[in-house]
Structure 1
């Protein structure tokens, strides 16, 4: 039986010095457990606490009776709408394994939904303070998060390193906000320019969610129509390549052969429609409203160069050849089309709140699926470049799983990442970050779910000049 309690927000404790001993933590936990029923079952159940922060965000905590002294601060992904629950684990199966192994799990909702990093970071820190007030100081604190939560986690790692010991980003937007929205602009710019040149669909400066719905619907219909012709399919593949959409991007899709260009494009077609329906308009409109204007641009972008660096450029060339189209002519059309300029104030807001310098002071492990269409694996190249330029490369390790989809990690793979970071924190050096070691750890943690770590090196992120705030560029 779980006991639910609402407690006030704790004060923000900035110093990580003077940690209490494990004995003190255990004593605090025993005091909390005395409020539970005295049945044998209740004695082994986690202590469950729900609460609300002054910001209006809620938080949730689960602390097992055999707490091992480590607290995991989980940052959840992008949410919209009125439902905004607090989350302290990526999924129920992984949560159960973590509690079994003695980890305390905490996490908040954010005071607002959408592109809410300015709420998420302080809300997560306040949740840590509330945990410390209730259960005592943890011997180790690890921040982790998935998808947009990977961006929040990386922001915590850069901006509040005194509150954590290390961090894990899973399928995260680790290229930062400015790069994310620029990378989202490129494929829709290609679709409109090549498939709907006379359309008045706004790609930026979207008035409201109604206008976003209308724009998404219009370009989705254009893409559906284009998919019926060889010429249209080639151009959809070009748009997909500018976002580095992989040719296998959903677990339900058949994995196409290396030269099965038609099957590859069919898989990308579904992902392009998903991009139009989710991020390109509705989420963009919400982010623009926060930023106070358009934070994206393609002035100065050479689309021939972007295609040349894409992971799927060979597929595009082959489909253009098959369709009898001139790829050179379409790239010239893209490069000559009227460009989109950004609002400097909006870029500044997005840079200050949502971009990264690469200056790590605590170890970070970043993990990505290789078949991610929403947050392509090339974002990891952006993170590595920024961290290397900042002189923090020894603190970063990256790993890749051979599966399709966004954040489709198994519980075993996620626990393996956690144990790898823990080894780094314990020994002071990275060991076992190769795929064989990661898979071995995963099988030991949970032999019932897949282990798919593989050697992988993503192609370069296509826009190297828009990753960080201008003041932080070198």
Structure 2
């Protein structure tokens, strides 16, 4: 991505400048560089004239297989421009492939950091930051390559790890198939190709759309959504329902669930092709207990009562349905690449919106629990933005998270990371916008297993 186009110099001139003068002189004018790693990944770097010595290593989100794959070094153009204005250098790669590129992303990002160091010398400090799938990449770097960075920020990230992610996705898909399409014989895993995954996704989306027309179907959609913790307000374009507006909350969950199966099936198939099989399971899962831990249990109970439907009967169906076992080799692949122990050596801040329907906010609770079990709590902070949507942060909120981590790096203490202090940081960085840091305590992560034991 190109930021501050008026300040960009031509690539040839920039290379000549770097070759001819010491590293510090390369920042006397803004520098924009692009290149390619031996892996095939593209990289991009922007260094402002007044570089402050900190480099921000950005990890981008998921890109579907076959989609365009440009290098990216900031979450948005606005955030990139703000960071450059404050003197940060921005770098990032495309990763060598699209899709669930768990093996390629981390080495490509670290190689991009090497490319930067070769051109500009060692940074005074390096902060890794990333959003969505890139939050998973960032957290992997933080856990497994802590010597390469000084701190990290995972924004709307899959901080529960890859094993947990695919298990949680399986839960909602299993409930929807069992209750809404019991005779369709739709596979939930083990897809041979994208064509099979697409057929399954279209069948399930059709079943959800049909179910929405009846009170019984709407109640069952709410149950499937609750097992994935899809919130009742998950898109900024939706009207925000009242606290007890069960029908309004369910409509919003339905919209998210109707789009869910592309992730649950097409994205899964691509990940399975890398892992060599199915990397998730629901053997031994107690769905009644899982529902009881969901913040949407009361909504589900009310909708079932209004529909004259037996919730216990449907939970019994889930309990007795055919379960899915994982392929051990595929679990091992995912574990080796992106399962988290919670062990941190450098400070990390997790930033999440409360109304995220794609990566529900409970993933941060999973990360916090793992970090506590690993004895690394002093290095983790988590901040929440009271807003619907996935990665719907203001520029100021993103900069506030970076500045909080910087303070921890510089002083050895977090200082105040409460909502008022974070909103003040956001306003200072990005005046005049509706910043919305708020107190929030996510409910327990629904999956009943310890993340750390899969990554030892």
TM-score normalised per structure 1: 0.91
Query: Following the alignment from structure 2 to structure 1, what is the Cα–Cα distance between the partners of residues 453 and 12?
Result: 39
Aligned counterpart in structure 2 of residue 284 of structure 1, from 265, 268, 282: 268
Residues 27 and 48 of structure 2 are in contact (CA less than 8 Å); yes or no, is this contact kept in structure 1? no
Whether 2:164 is the aligned partner of 1:158: answer: no
| Cross-structure match for 1:50 | 34
Once the two structures are TM-superposed, the CA of residue 354 in structure 1 deviates from its matched residue by 1.1
Once the two structures are TM-superposed, the CA of residue 465 in structure 1 deviates from its matched residue by 1.0
Gaps of 5+ in 1: 8-25, 34-42
Once the two structures are TM-superposed, the CA of residue 6 in structure 1 deviates from its matched residue by 7.9
Query: Following the alignment from structure 1 to structure 2, what is the Cα–Cα distance between the partners of residues 3 and 417?
Result: 30
Aligned counterpart in structure 1 of residue 117 of structure 2, from 132, 143, 153: 132
Q: How does 1:243-258 map to 2 (within 5 A)?
A: 243-258=228-243
Tell me, what secondary structure is at the counterpart of 2:46? strand
Residues 412 and 450 of structure 1 are in contact (CA less than 8 Å); yes or no, is this contact kept in structure 2? no
Gaps of 5+ in 2: 1-6, 14-20
Query: Following the alignment from structure 2 to structure 1, what is the Cα–Cα distance between the partners of residues 447 and 200?
Result: 25
Q: CA RMSD in A?
A: 1.4
Tell me, what secondary structure is at the counterpart of 2:451? coil
For this pair of structures, how many residues does the alignment match? 442
Query: Following the alignment from structure 1 to structure 2, what is the Cα–Cα distance between the partners of residues 320 and 419?
Result: 46
Whether 2:199 is the aligned partner of 1:199: answer: no
| Cross-structure match for 1:360 | 344
Whether 2:403 is the aligned partner of 1:397: answer: no
Query: Following the alignment from structure 2 to structure 1, what is the Cα–Cα distance between the partners of residues 455 and 131?
Result: 28
Once the two structures are TM-superposed, the CA of residue 30 in structure 1 deviates from its matched residue by 1.6
| Cross-structure match for 1:76 | 60
- Deviation string 1:111-141 (CA, Å, 9 cap, x unpaired) is 0111112100000000001001101111010
Once the two structures are TM-superposed, the CA of residue 273 in structure 1 deviates from its matched residue by 1.0
| Cross-structure match for 1:171 | 156
Residues 6 and 49 of structure 1 are in contact (CA less than 8 Å); yes or no, is this contact kept in structure 2? no
Aligned counterpart in structure 2 of residue 267 of structure 1, from 252, 255, 258: 252
Query: Following the alignment from structure 1 to structure 2, what is the Cα–Cα distance between the partners of residues 382 and 116?
Result: 22
TM-score normalised per structure 2: 0.95
| Cross-structure match for 1:21 | none
Once the two structures are TM-superposed, the CA of residue 145 in structure 1 deviates from its matched residue by 0.1
Query: Following the alignment from structure 1 to structure 2, what is the Cα–Cα distance between the partners of residues 73 and 464?
Result: 33
Tell me, what secondary structure is at the counterpart of 1:60? strand
| Cross-structure match for 2:106 | 121
Aligned counterpart in structure 2 of residue 99 of structure 1, from 84, 104, 127: 84
Query: Following the alignment from structure 1 to structure 2, what is the Cα–Cα distance between the partners of residues 249 and 177?
Result: 22
Q: Per the alignment, do residues 4 and 293 of structure 1 end up closer, same or farther by CA in structure 2, a change over 3 Å counting?
A: farther
Query: Following the alignment from structure 1 to structure 2, what is the Cα–Cα distance between the partners of residues 2 and 64?
Result: 9
Once the two structures are TM-superposed, the CA of residue 469 in structure 1 deviates from its matched residue by 5.1
Residues 129 and 154 of structure 2 are in contact (CA less than 8 Å); yes or no, is this contact kept in structure 1? yes
| Cross-structure match for 2:281 | 297
| Cross-structure match for 1:37 | none
Once the two structures are TM-superposed, the CA of residue 5 in structure 1 deviates from its matched residue by 3.1
Query: Following the alignment from structure 2 to structure 1, what is the Cα–Cα distance between the partners of residues 206 and 175?
Result: 15
Residues 92 and 109 of structure 2 are in contact (CA less than 8 Å); yes or no, is this contact kept in structure 1? yes
Query: Following the alignment from structure 2 to structure 1, what is the Cα–Cα distance between the partners of residues 273 and 295?
Result: 33
Q: How does 1:271-420 map to 2 (within 5 A)?
A: 271-277=256-262, 279-420=263-404
Query: Following the alignment from structure 2 to structure 1, what is the Cα–Cα distance between the partners of residues 370 and 11?
Result: 42
Once the two structures are TM-superposed, the CA of residue 314 in structure 1 deviates from its matched residue by 0.6
